[in-house]
Chains A and B, each alone.
Chain A
Amino acid sequence: AQSVTQLDSQVPVFEEAPVELRCNYSSSVSVYLFWYVQYPNQGLQLLLKYLSGSTLVESINGFEAEFNKSQTSFHLRKPSVHISDTAEYFCAVLKAAGNKLTFGGGTRVLVKP
């Protein structure tokens, strides 16, 4: 069975500062990796995903994540955050031969002015 660990439950950060959200997974088979964002009182929205190819993937709003197979990690980064990035972020793993996502526990990002 696979598992996903998000090492930080909460990350406070000042506006325009960089942020990194850590995600590690364990799986004995090939996986696809996802980051989702949940704004207050909303459902989850797909932020970015890694399926294959380049290990660095980017979203349209400045986030990026790098797949590191040797360290089984998929950390999310943004070089300069905005107040509007305040949200909860979930890392998720899908077995390449499966159809069920496994989620991490979530990281709550609070951007302060």
Chain B
Amino acid sequence: DVKVTQSSRYLVKRTGEKVFLECVQDMDHENMFWYRQDPGLGLRLIYFSYDVKMKEKGDIPEGYSVSREKKERFSLILESASTNQTSMYLCASSSNRGSGYTFGSGTRLTVV
């Protein structure tokens, strides 16, 4: 089974802090994704990557950046955390077309 691991289940950070959310997958998937999930808004794509060192903006990239230096790891960076970035963050990976995504368990981030 593919496993996608997000480093933290819960995080509390202060406004203005730089925040790193880490995601690791163990099945050599080419594609990796970061979503945020908010009540009433569903899942919104922040960034995705289809290869090492490659990245593309999703629907809501503002205030975020990403890093993919190794195939198995995709990091989401909040350059200067703000309270409106309080959310559930979900990482996912996928391989060949049509296989769907495998999701991590999520990181619930609270910015105070």
> How many A-B contacts at CB < 8 Å in the complex?
53
Number of A interface residues in the complex (CB < 8 A) = 24
Binary contact readout B72-112 vs A (1 if CB under 8 angstroms, 0 otherwise): 00000000000000000010101001101111111010000
- Please provide the chain A residues from 57 to 110 with a CB less than 8 Å away from any CB of chain B in the complex: 90, 92, 94, 96-101, 103-106
A51 at the interface (CB under 8 A from B): yes
Given the known A-B contacts A90-B42, A90-B43, are A101 and B106 also in contact in the complex, defined by CB atoms under 8 Å? no
The number of chain B residues touching the other chain, given as a range, is 20 to 34
| Interface: B50 (CB within 8 A) | yes
A18 nearest CB across to chain B (Å): 25
What does the 1/0 interface line of B31-73 toward A look like (CB < 8 Å)?
Answer: 1010000001111010010100000000000000000000000
Q: Specify which chain A residues have a CB less than 8 angstroms from the CB of B50 in the assembled complex.
A: 99
Chain A positions within 8 Å of B90 at CB level: 43-44
Closest to B102 in A: A46
Contacts of A41 in B (CB 8 A): 106, 108
A25 at the interface (CB under 8 A from B): no
8 A Cβ contacts from A30-71 to B: 32, 34, 36, 41-46, 49, 51
Contact B106 A97 (CB under 8 A): no
Partner of B98, one of A46, A92, A94, A100: A94
Q: Assess the B97–A99 pair: CB atoms within 8 A.
A: yes
**B100 and A43 within 8 A (CB):** no
Whether A45 contacts B103 by the Cβ 8 Å rule is yes
